[in-house]
Amino acid sequence: MARQSPQRPDADEPELDDTDAAAAADEVEEDRPPADRALWEEVRIDPVEIALPSGTGFTLRAYRQARELTPTDVAERDQDDPFLARRQVVETEDDEEVVILDEEFAALSAEEDDEDEEKDAKARRKDKAGASDEKAEAETEDDAEDEDEDDEAGDEEVPAFLTHKGRLLLFKTPESLVTFIRSGAPNDLSQLDSWNELSERLEPADIAPLDEDTYELDLVVENLRGGHDAWDHELLIEAGEIARDLAYALRLPAVLDMLSSGSSLDDLDEALRASVNGGVGGFLGRRRLKKIGAQTASLGWRTIVGKISAVVDWRD
């Protein structure tokens, strides 16, 4: 039988231009089934994509009770950090430590000092015979309170990333991430009870982070420099979320302090969150944003992104 030649499109049939072709590609993309999330839900671990000034990479994140996790070991990392070494020398040589407090915190500290002095005066006026009993009772109560605080801290859900010796492991391709996981190489997530199951079942196609697990830290500083009207609220809010998680998991106290409650960057975060809401709260949030200095915010975030970037271990 003679081979039939392929059919040519009818001469009257219009050809697709670039716009139509792009639209058709989008339709195919929409029809394509999303990555299977069943594995991630079973192991309670998620793929994460993080963009930094030096590149974009994939890693993993999980949330567990604090009592279930052993923190990453930062001894080797901090030993190699010349800035930390210099800071330790200064603290050893100097007997005094100078701390600059803002007015509100200074006033609060003074008030607490006055309360402590008043308590000491009352304690001195107590009958000596009953002082020892009261002290023992107070110590018992303090011990009970400490135990309660320890229990609460242990029950708190905290983030953990694919880290090793205080460094975040970032992989430039899904294939390299899967290869690492299957290799059995040491990492801090291997302590999870679901790690073995993940390493046995994971495929490169599964490395498809959700939109809420994709972060663009590389854009934060430039966005803040653009001024209040150019600020991307969603970008900045998500940056705060991932930076806090990374600072906790990687044990970066300086970053945690910069984002702690009452800090200028925390005020920025709260104002951004309020501004995206409607009503009076949104209006007040937008007013608060106008009072936040763009230069201060951008400098602060440049420091944060730099500190996180400094503890990344890039893997091809």
Reported as a single tens digit per residue, the pLDDT across 250-275 is 999 999 999 999 999 999 999 998 88
When pLDDT is cut at 50, 70 and 90, the band that residue 107 belongs to is: very low
Q: In the structure encoding, which two tokens stand for residue 21, read together?
A: 């072709």
Co-location of 174 and 302 in the same domain: yes
On the question of pLDDT at 78 being above 70, the answer is yes
In a domain, 9, yes or no: no
pLDDT at 64: 97
As a whole number, mean pLDDT of residues 288-298 equals 87
DSSP letter string, the chain: -PPPPPPPPPTTSPPP-HHHHHHHHHHHHHHSPPPP-HHHHHHT-EEEEEEETTEEEEEEEEEEEGGG-PPP--HHHHHT-HHHHHHHHHHHH-S-------HHHHHHHHHHHHHHHHHHHHHHTS-HHHHHHHHHHHHHHHHHHHHHHHHHHHHSEEEEESEETTEEEEESSHHHHHHHHHHT---GGGGSTTHHHHHHH--GGG----GGGEEEGGGHHHHHHT-GGG--HHHHHHHHHHHHHHHHHTT-HHHHHHTSTTSHHHHHHHHHHHHTS-HHHHHHHHHHHHTS-HHHHHHHHHHHHHHHHHTEEEE-
Co-location of 133 and 173 in the same domain: no
Co-location of 115 and 61 in the same domain: no
In a domain, 80, yes or no: no
The domain total for the chain is 2
As a whole number, mean pLDDT of residues 144-151 equals 55
Q: Of 58-67, 89-98, 119-128, where does mean pLDDT reach its minimum?
A: 89-98
231, 237 contact by CB (below 8 A): no
Domain range holding 228?
A: 38-74+159-315
pLDDT at 28: 41
Domain boundary among 155, 176, 201: 155
Co-location of 177 and 311 in the same domain: yes
In a domain, 2, yes or no: no
